[in-house]
Amino acid sequence: MNNMWLMIFIMFMVGNMIFVSKHKHLLIMLLSLEFIVLSLYMMLVLYLNMMEFDIYMLMVFLVFSVCEGALGISILVSMIRTHGNDYFQSFSLL
C-alpha cells in the first residue's frame, strides 16, 4: 500500500515539474494538468477506500475534471484558430 502512495506522489510531482518548467506549447501544459488531475483522482480513490467513506465525491471530482479538460481544449482550439499555432510567445494576455 505504501508503494502505491509513493508512485502516486511521484506522478503528482512529475506532473507539477512538467507544468512549472517552461514549455512553449499549450497542449503540453494541458496534458500535464490532466496528468496531475489523474494522480489526484487516484489519491482520492485510495484515501476514500482506506477510510471506508462513500465514493460519491469521486463522481463530483470527475465532473469537474471533465469540465476542466473541455475548457482547456476549447481554449486550445480558439487559440489555434486566431493565431495559427499554440505557442505561448504568440499569445498575449493583454
Q: Does the residue 88 lie in any domain?
A: no
If one counts the domains in the chain, the total is 1
* Rounded Cα distance, 20 and 23, in Å: 9
Q: Tell me, what's the pLDDT at 61?
A: 92
Over residues 52-94, the pLDDT tens digits come to: 888 888 999 999 999 999 999 998 898 888 888 888 777 666 5
DSSP 12: H
* Rounded Cα distance, 89 and 79, in Å: 12
Q: Tell me, what's the pLDDT at 22?
A: 75
Q: For residue 31, what is the domain's CATH number?
A: 1.10.287.3510
Among 13, 8, 70, 2, smallest CA distance to 44 is for: 8
Q: Does the residue 69 lie in any domain?
A: yes
Q: Does the residue 72 lie in any domain?
A: yes
Q: Does the residue 25 lie in any domain?
A: yes
**Cβ neighbours of residue 85 closer than 8 Å, sequence gap 6 or more:** none
Grid cell at residue 3: 508503494
Q: What is the mean pLDDT of residues 29-35?
A: 91
Q: Does the residue 93 lie in any domain?
A: no
* Rounded Cα distance, 34 and 72, in Å: 10
Over residues 7-29, the pLDDT tens digits come to: 999 999 999 999 899 778 888 88
Q: Does the residue 90 lie in any domain?
A: no
Q: Does the residue 92 lie in any domain?
A: no
pTM for the complete prediction? 0.84
Domain with 79, as residue range(s), is: 2-83
**Under 8 Å between Cβ of 93 and 51:** no
